[in-house]
Amino acid sequence: MTTNAANNNSEAELKAQLDRLGALRQAIAQAIVGQDDVVEQLLIGLLAGGHCLLEGVPGLGKTLLVRSLGQALELQFRRVQFTPDLMPSDILGTELLEEDHGTGHRHFRFQPGPIFTNLLLADELNRTPPKTQAALLEAMQERTVSYAGVTHTLPSPFFVLATQNPLEQAGTYPLPEAQLDRFLLHIRVGYPSEREEHDILQQTTGAHSAQVPRVMGGEDVLALQARVREVHLADDLLLWITRLVRASRPDEGGLLEVRQWVKWGAGPRAGQSLVLAAKARALLHGRFAATREDIAALAAPVMRHRLLLSFAAEAENKSADDVIAALLRGVPLPGAAQGG
């Protein structure tokens, strides 16, 4: 009886969590028109506990999207516009010298920077020098900020959404591959369809703006992140992920496209990210087992920023997505199973 009651409670709790996920997507949709794939990948990044890099031209609603996400989650949201003169202390924080007017005693007090938040939008990350980029990315990885020998823990959950403009490259500082690897997903934001663009114009030029309801809090997000790691991934799918990542390395001597177009392939972190992202997508779709489709849908967002292409690829106008498509075609799924 006790075991059955515990199972019933667990199932009821899981159903409630899945219902809240559905409500979260609906809440964001009240402010964001279209961009279903982008919204889904952002939520996957959040559930998997990773950070996301968005690439898209200005005016596609990237800032509105992350602000709407923060409103729906009842999480603190901050935005930092990255510029060439931005210093690490402008993001991480600094120490201020204060004086006690009663005793005259002076002491230093740490003033936290904007990184001490739940959702941080790092706008145009590639416009700030490497020193500032490195300071942000170190904090993203360690989830702490060390200053004057004291370690300060960042809030939990902590999610960084960085953007970069693919058009204007003058005066930019491209992120090194080792730092790009810190992002769980590299999300491409495209133009809306004609119908979606019509709806955007109608929604944003009227007298009333869309209101995003609050559907869950930070504790719910942390519970869902823990639930993601419980999602089942079959051994054959885990082996397929391993082979996909390894096949992206030209020295493995596999696919012709990889040998021709790739200079450096993805590292083990790509496999870890693909496993977690596939599990998160399964949970987002109401399933407790990941499938081949989950892996195929997320292979490009997980791997496109982890591949360094060769001059031959540039000459042939080939992208990382072309390589990943070749990997999905050329690396067979082990065994006969096609799902989770």
User: For residues 145 and 91, is the Cβ–Cβ distance under 8 A?
Assistant: no
CA–CA separation, 38 vs 56, rounded Å? 11
- pLDDT, mean of residues 299-310: 93
CA–CA separation, 123 vs 76, rounded Å? 17
User: For residues 40 and 281, is the Cβ–Cβ distance under 8 A?
Assistant: yes
Strands 52-55 and 262-264, how do they pair?
unpaired
Q: Which residue has the higher pLDDT, 109 or 231?
A: 231
- The string over 264-291, giving b where at least 16 C-beta atoms fall within 10 Å of a residue's C-beta and e elsewhere, is ebbeeebbbbbbbbbbbbbbbeebeebb
If you average pLDDT over each of 11-20, 145-154, 325-334, which comes out highest?
325-334
Task: Report the chain's mean pLDDT, rounded to a whole number.
Answer: 83
- For residue 209, what pLDDT is reported? 64
CA–CA separation, 169 vs 241, rounded Å? 34
* Amino acid occupying residue 94: T
- For residue 9, what pLDDT is reported? 53
Structure tokens at 4: 């059955």
- For residue 282, what pLDDT is reported? 93
- pLDDT, mean of residues 14-22: 79
* Amino acid occupying residue 98: E
User: For residues 295 and 277, is the Cβ–Cβ distance under 8 A?
Assistant: no
Which band of pLDDT confidence, cut at 50, 70 and 90, is reported for residue 339? very low
Q: What is the 3-state secondary structure (H, E, C) of 93-148?
A: EEEEEEECCCCCCEEEEEEECCCCCCEEEEECHHHCCHHHHHHHHHHHHHCEEEEC
Structure tokens at 273: 């990210």
High-pLDDT (> 70) share of the chain, %: 90
If you average pLDDT over each of 52-66, 180-194, 226-240, which comes out highest?
226-240
CA–CA separation, 116 vs 125, rounded Å? 17
User: What is the sign of the dihedral through the CA atoms of 264, 329, 252 and 292?
Assistant: positive
- pLDDT, mean of residues 143-156: 85
User: For residues 228 and 280, is the Cβ–Cβ distance under 8 A?
Assistant: yes
Burial class (CB in 10 A: 0-12, 13-18, 19+), 64: middle
- For residue 188, what pLDDT is reported? 87
- pLDDT, mean of residues 223-238: 92
- For residue 4, what pLDDT is reported? 53
- Which range (82-96, 206-220, 301-315) has the least confidence? 206-220
- The string over 31-41, giving b where at least 16 C-beta atoms fall within 10 Å of a residue's C-beta and e elsewhere, is bbbbbeebbbb
- For residue 277, what pLDDT is reported? 96
Residue 178: pLDDT over 70: yes
Residue 340: pLDDT over 50: no
- For residue 311, what pLDDT is reported? 92
- pLDDT, mean of residues 92-111: 78
- For residue 167, what pLDDT is reported? 59
Which band of pLDDT confidence, cut at 50, 70 and 90, is reported for residue 184? very high
- pLDDT, mean of residues 136-163: 86
Which band of pLDDT confidence, cut at 50, 70 and 90, is reported for residue 270? very high
Which band of pLDDT confidence, cut at 50, 70 and 90, is reported for residue 39? confident
User: For residues 89 and 171, is the Cβ–Cβ distance under 8 A?
Assistant: no
- Which range (39-53, 66-80, 256-270) has the least confidence? 66-80
Residue 221: pLDDT over 60: yes
Using CA atoms, how far residue 320 sits from 19, 103, 198, 278, in Å, is 36, 63, 32, 20
Residue 336: pLDDT over 70: no
- For residue 1, what pLDDT is reported? 44
